[in-house]
């Protein structure tokens, strides 16, 4: 959020910045995460993931502080590379730690993965609000304050993961082979790529740039926060709260539902969200009450689509039961995230530059339809978790 506002500010002061450059910055960050995720996931299996997570948070602190040192593109790119490395050092070890801690209960695993998604959403929401509020008061010094928050996160990782254990190099390499051969991962990979491309479309800096730059079209959402960029953070908070409420509800439903069914329902909701947002984007002449009604209905559909990530993570974690290579497998998850997000970020730069907000909606619609088509290959026979509900598996483990 803060990066998008900062770049919009530089653009307003005359620096040559457009949506395509911002899309490239997002792609560079995701590319660094992609390259580093599997090697760092392998390392987290060989040694304790605790130290990787601490190091990742500290690298993130350096990355965010560097971004505002000087308004030069090469410095922006360097900062984004460090940011990608930081994410790669935190996410696979953290997910591996969660998967290892829930091997005794499939029901608990589904809920933990939902709570992981909730924590991610809470961080995005609070970070968006914080970034948008810090900028008017501290301007470039706001990046220093964010770096201190990264350092505080490193301390929390140090204290909170004391029980994390290492498996050794031999077990880590064996886990890599298992993960690469896993039919569950191969079946889910194309669908996850599409969903992560949607993440790259909307959570990269291009969206913030389009919403906070001066409007270039008659689209309602184009430049909607140009005069008050701080409202961008509040919008992200509202969306994250709505999405998080959906994830919370899914955490109770998911243990009683086939995982593939949960993924299908979530993906089926995504095109309808695009329809709702497209209507809002062309509602300039509408009464405010009608626009609010469309937004409310769209919000309810967002709650349905929120179930995909916890369902997919539960599917992946189930496929790793009995394996010591959870870190490297979660590294593969991050690679899929990185590839998809790179595609999404580049699409955002291209479609946003030519069609503004309508371009983002068009890209999302195409990716959602493709994901639904690819879900056909994720069959009930691919995972033990889909041949019975999670609760049935949990009960059978007690016998």
Instruction: Going residue by residue through the chain, which has 399 residues, state the pLDDT in tens, using 9 for 90 and above.
Output: 677 778 777 877 778 777 677 778 877 887 888 888 878 877 777 777 778 889 999 999 999 889 888 777 888 899 999 998 998 888 888 877 777 766 666 667 667 777 777 777 677 667 767 777 777 777 888 888 888 989 998 998 888 776 665 555 565 566 666 666 677 778 888 998 999 899 888 877 778 778 888 888 889 988 888 888 778 777 877 887 888 889 889 888 888 888 889 999 999 999 999 999 999 999 988 999 999 999 999 999 999 999 998 888 778 767 665 555 566 667 777 777 778 877 888 888 888 888 999 999 999 999 999 999 999 888 754 443 433 344 433 333 333
Report the pLDDT value the prediction gives residue 272, as an integer from 0 to 100.
96
Q: How far apart are CA 88 and CA 33, in angstroms?
A: 5
Nearest residue to 128 (alpha-carbon basis) of 23, 5, 309: 5
Report the pLDDT value the prediction gives residue 252, as an integer from 0 to 100.
86
Do 143 and 64 touch, CB atoms closer than 8 A?
Answer: yes
Report the pLDDT value the prediction gives residue 15, as an integer from 0 to 100.
80
Q: How far apart are CA 343 and CA 327, in angstroms?
A: 24
Q: How far apart are CA 16 and CA 3, in angstroms?
A: 16
Q: How far apart are CA 236 and CA 157, in angstroms?
A: 26
Q: What is the CATH number of domain 2-162+172-398?
A: 1.20.1250.20
Report the pLDDT value the prediction gives residue 384, as an integer from 0 to 100.
39
Report the pLDDT value the prediction gives residue 392, as an integer from 0 to 100.
38
Name, in order, each residue with C-beta under 8 angstroms of 116's C-beta and a sequence gap of 6 or more.
94, 95, 98, 310, 313
Report the pLDDT value the prediction gives residue 323, as an integer from 0 to 100.
55
Distances in whole angstroms, Cα of residue 118 to Cα of each of 101, 121, 203, 291, 312: 18, 5, 16, 28, 14
- Per-residue model confidence as pLDDT tens digits over 190-237: 998 999 899 888 877 778 778 888 888 889 988 888 888 778 777 877
Backbone angles phi, psi at 49, to 5 degrees: -65, -15
Report the pLDDT value the prediction gives residue 86, as an integer from 0 to 100.
92
Q: How far apart are CA 98 and CA 288, in angstroms?
A: 45
Q: How far apart are CA 67 and CA 75, in angstroms?
A: 6
- Token readout for 232 is 């961008």
- What is the DSSP code (8-state) at residue 168? -
Report the pLDDT value the prediction gives residue 388, as an integer from 0 to 100.
38
Report the pLDDT value the prediction gives residue 103, as an integer from 0 to 100.
64
- Token readout for 249 is 């509800």
Farthest CA pair distance, the chain:
69
Nearest residue to 334 (alpha-carbon basis) of 3, 8, 42, 11: 42
- What is the DSSP code (8-state) at residue 140? G
Q: How far apart are CA 172 and CA 170, in angstroms?
A: 5
**Runs of H (alpha helix) within the chain:** 2-12, 19-46, 49-67, 73-101, 106-138, 142-160, 169-181, 183-203, 205-212, 230-253, 259-281, 288-305, 308-319, 326-355, 357-374, 390-398
User: What's this model's pTM, rounded to 2 decimal places?
Assistant: 0.68
Angle between helices 357-374 and 326-355 (to 10 degrees): 140
* Alpha carbon 76 to its chain's center: 21
Burial class (CB in 10 A: 0-12, 13-18, 19+), 96: buried
- Token readout for 320 is 């790793």
**For tokens 């329902």, what's the residue?**
265
* Triad 120, 129, 1: Cα angle to 5°: 75
Query: Over the Cα atoms of the chain, what is R_g?
Result: 21
Q: How far apart are CA 133 and CA 138, in angstroms?
A: 9
Q: How far apart are CA 281 and CA 381, in angstroms?
A: 42
- Token readout for 110 is 């589904």
């Amino acid at each position: 959020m803060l990066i998008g506002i900062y770049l919009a500010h530089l653009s307003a002061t005359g620096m040559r910045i457009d949506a395509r450059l911002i899309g490239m910055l997002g792609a560079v960050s995701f590319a660094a995460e992609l390259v580093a995720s599997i090697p760092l996931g392998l390392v987290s299996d060989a040694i304790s993931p605790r130290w990787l997570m601490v190091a990742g948070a500290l690298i993130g602190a350096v990355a965010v502080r560097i971004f505002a040192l000087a308004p030069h593109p090469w410095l922006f790119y360097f900062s984004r590379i460090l940011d990608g490395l930081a994410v790669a050092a935190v996410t696979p070890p953290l997910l591996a730690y969660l998967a290892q801690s829930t091997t005794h209960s499939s029901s608990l695993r589904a809920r933990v993965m939902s709570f992981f998604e909730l924590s991610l959403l809470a961080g995005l929401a609070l970070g968006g609000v914080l970034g948008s509020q810090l900028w008017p008061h501290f301007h470039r010094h706001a990046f220093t304050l964010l770096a201190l928050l990264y350092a505080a996160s490193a301390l929390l990782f140090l204290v909170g993961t004391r029980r994390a254990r290492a498996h050794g190099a031999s077990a880590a390499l064996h886990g890599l082979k298992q993960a690469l051969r896993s039919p569950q991962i191969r079946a889910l990979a194309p669908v996850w790529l599409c969903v992560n491309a949607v993440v790259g479309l909307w959570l990269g800096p291009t969206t913030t740039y389009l919403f906070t730059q001066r409007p270039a079209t008659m689209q309602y959402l184009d430049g909607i926060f140009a005069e008050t960029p701080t409202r961008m953070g509040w919008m992200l908070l509202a969306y994250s709260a709505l999405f998080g409420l959906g994830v919370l509800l899914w955490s109770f439903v998911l243990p009683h539902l086939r995982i593939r069914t949960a993924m299908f329902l979530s993906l089926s909701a995504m095109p309808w969200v695009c329809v709702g947002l497209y209507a809002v984007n062309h509602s300039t002449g509408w009464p405010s009450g009608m626009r609010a009604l469309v937004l409310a209905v769209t919000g309810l559909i967002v709650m349905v689509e929120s179930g995909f990530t916890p369902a997919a993570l539960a599917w992946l974690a189930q496929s790793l039961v009995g394996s010591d290579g959870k870190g490297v497998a979660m590294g593969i998850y991050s690679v899929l995230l990185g590839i998809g997000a790179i595609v999404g970020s580049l699409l955002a730069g291209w479609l946003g530059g030519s069609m503004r907000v309508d371009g983002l909606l068009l890209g999302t619609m195409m990716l959602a339809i493709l994901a639904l088509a690819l879900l056909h290959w994720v069959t009930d026979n691919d995972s033990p978790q889909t041949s019975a509900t999670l609760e049935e598996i949990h009960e059978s483990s007690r016998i």
